[in-house]
Chain A
Amino acid sequence: EVQLVESGGGLVQPGGSLRLSCAASGFTVSSNYMNWVRQAPGKGLDWVSVIYSGAGTYYADSVKGRFTISRDNSKNTLYLQMNSLRAEDTAVYYCAVSPTPGNFDYWGQGTLVTVSS
Chain B
Amino acid sequence: DIQMTQSPSSLSASVGDRVTITCRASQSITSYLNWYQQKPGKAPKLLIYAASSLQSGVPSRFSGSGSGTDFTLTISSLQPEDFATYYCQQSYSTPFTFGPGTKVDIK
Contact = CB atoms under 8 A, between A and B. Distances in A.
Central interface residue in A47, A61, A110, by most chain B CB within 10 Å? A47
B100 interface: yes
Nearest to A110: B43
B59 interface: no
Secondary structure call for the A interface = loop
Interface size class of B (residues with CB under 8 A): 20 to 34
A58 to B, nearest CB: 4
A105 interface: yes
A34 interface: no
Contacts of B97: 47
B43 A47 contact: no
Contacts of A58: 94-95
A105 B46 contact: yes
B52 to A, nearest CB: 14
B91 A44 contact: no
A110 B38 CA distance: 13
A109 interface: yes
Interface string B75-104: 000000000000101111111111111000
B89 A44 contact: no
A105 B44 CA distance: 9
Interface of B: 1, 32, 34, 36, 38, 43-46, 49, 55, 87, 89-101
Given A44-B98, A47-B97, A102-B34, 14 more contacts: A35-B96, A37-B44, A45-B98, A45-B101, A47-B96, A58-B95, A61-B1, A100-B91, A103-B34, A103-B49, A104-B34, A104-B36, A104-B44, A107-B43
Interface of A: 35, 37, 44-47, 50, 58, 60-61, 94, 100-110
